[in-house]
Amino acid sequence: MSSIEEILELERLEKDIFRGIVADTMLTRTFGGQVAGQALVSAVRTVDEQYRVHSLHGYFLRPGNPTIPTVFLVDRIRDGRSFCTRRVTGVQDGQAIFTMSASFHVGDVGIEHQDRIPPVPDPETLPDTSDSRDEELSWEFREWADWDLRFVPQEEIVRRRGVPAQQQVWFRYRGILPDAPVFHICTLAYMSDMTLLGSAQVPHPDAEIQQASLDHALWFLRPFRADEWLLYDQSSPSAGFGRALTQGRIFDRDGNLVAAVVQEGLTRLLRTE
């Protein structure tokens, strides 16, 4: 499979036009995290280094074809003294498959607080999912073999009162990534789409559903490395009408809240009785 370095290394076609690679994959449609990560790389390439990504908001408009490259068109919406904004459209075969707004900030001094990391087992005490013999899971871990994913067993999750669906996953990139902070940010944009929608299915383990990401929002709160352990604390506050709302908090090993995610996804029943 293609490495994250290959996936995020885009070709510049024109000043604000970029093209991603055709990544090796077993998927029948382009992974949403790949499109989001590449779109963010495109936006980053058009801003000065003094600006840091602080948020992105994306919509998945059409399923991507994994056998052809995606071209990304960047609009320079605003360049201010503290903030700048970019809009990116991912295009395949003349049609938009993804659109994203990304905001950048130079950084300021202000008030500080954060949620505490929930009580959770250390990742080393959990099984490495790449060793799974479950046929339904094994292909996923072959697809993302470069990622170490360790799910907290449902019986070990400390339940929050009134929360119907919770899931926790430790993850990290297995190799050593470049030191540039922006590379880790774009890598997390790629990774943040993985496993999140699955939190909506926790209360419905036997339901057969069609899943797809519909929209995705991500806020980068503190520095981190994607090749060190990160805890993805996920929940799904609502599901209905064939859609599910999911959200996640991402903490580093020291308990720092480094990112927050909100996503709505398609959760259409394949069979109704």
- Catalytic site positions: 193, 213, 263
Backbone angles phi, psi at 42, to 5 degrees: -60, -45
3-state DSSP assignment of residue 182: helix
Q: How far apart are CA 203 and CA 80, in angstroms?
A: 45
3-state DSSP assignment of residue 72: strand
Backbone angles phi, psi at 41, to 5 degrees: -60, -45
Q: How far apart are CA 130 and CA 138, in angstroms?
A: 7
Question: Of 232, 222, 174, which is closest to residue 5 (Cα–Cα)?
Answer: 174
Question: Of 108, 70, 103, which is closest to residue 89 (Cα–Cα)?
Answer: 70
